Amino acid sequence: MALIPSFFLDCVVAIGFENPDGSRQYAATGFLYGNFIAQEGNGKTYKIYLVTNKHVFNDSKIAWLRFNPEGDEPAREYDIVLLDRDNNRTWKTHPDPDIDLAIIEINATFLKSQGIRFEFFRSDQHLITKAQAAEAGISEGDGVFVLGFPMGMIGEKRNFVIVKQGAIARIRDALTGNAKEFLVDTSIFPGNSGGPVISRPEIVSIQGTQPYSRSSLLGIVASYVPYQDVAISMQTKRPRVIFEENSGLASIVLVDYLVEIVDAIPAVLEHVNQQPPVEVPQALPEEPST
């Protein structure tokens, strides 16, 4: 019994950066997102973006993406330029500086020509916005999956994503617009930043409510929520050392803010070379088998 559509795993990409010695260290997660453009015959056209956190791209000129080719070949690495010749960012963020999201266009046609195995979350099929989540009754205690590459664990030969389970710890304030992020009860680590958070389909619910039976993109990992413990000097009774630990809670950006960034792009991206859209013959299944 599958709870996550298998192609969701192929949407997730490891993001790395070069060390001073030329080696590459993979330290973050991203995923591919397809914005629906048009219906063309029996197929649909999408514009493809890489999505991650703003803090992942900050202060970097080039990032590296790691993809699996079709078949059993070793993973391949491709660079993306984050600053153009005039040192302008090639990636876009939300106008609200508190929203920790970044997106950059990806040439999916080139990846296909390279024989790369990849998929993308479709804007018209695989999202659940806060309005839809509220209508569906998603609330605290509902299950989620967090996909990513914690601690740089990308796999030696092939790129295999790590899936962690969690539960929504607090979301009602986000669904009502009183918060920009929601909380998930799961341990995340450096490397998880920018990973997708997927709703867990359920087949049972308490009386008077309906179970949400789909796997949908609900949000994007921003960071873990830290807590601080203070060591007090026995002699002076003053704080001497502050320890910061992972609380086991993760802060998740609502997918609505990703939609808002993409929707604003046509008006602000005229000076950047547009990547060609990709056409897919038919939609992939929206729901897992249960």
Examine residue 289 and state whether it is found in any structural domain, yes or no. no
Provide the CATH number for the domain around residue 114.
2.40.10.120
Q: With 50 as the cut, is the pLDDT of residue 173 above it?
A: yes
pTM: 0.87
Examine residue 288 and state whether it is found in any structural domain, yes or no. no
Q: With 50 as the cut, is the pLDDT of residue 19 above it?
A: yes
Total number of domains in the chain: 1
Examine residue 286 and state whether it is found in any structural domain, yes or no. no
Show Cβ contacts of residue 73 under 8 Å, excluding neighbours closer than 6 positions.
none
Q: Which domain holds residue 207?
A: 6-280
- Mean of the per-residue pLDDT values of the chain: 88
Examine residue 114 and state whether it is found in any structural domain, yes or no. yes
Show Cβ contacts of residue 175 under 8 Å, excluding neighbours closer than 6 positions.
130, 133, 134, 138, 182
Tokens of 134: 């509220």
Q: With 70 as the cut, is the pLDDT of residue 274 above it?
A: no
DSSP-derived secondary structure letter, 240: E
Q: With 80 as the cut, is the pLDDT of residue 269 above it?
A: no
Tens digits of residue pLDDT in 200-240: 988 776 766 677 888 999 999 999 888 877 878 778 878 87
How far, in Å, CA of 145 to CA of 288, rounded? 13
pLDDT at 40: 77
Examine residue 160 and state whether it is found in any structural domain, yes or no. yes
pLDDT at 229: 79
pLDDT at 91: 96
How far, in Å, CA of 94 to CA of 273, rounded? 20
Q: With 60 as the cut, is the pLDDT of residue 279 above it?
A: no
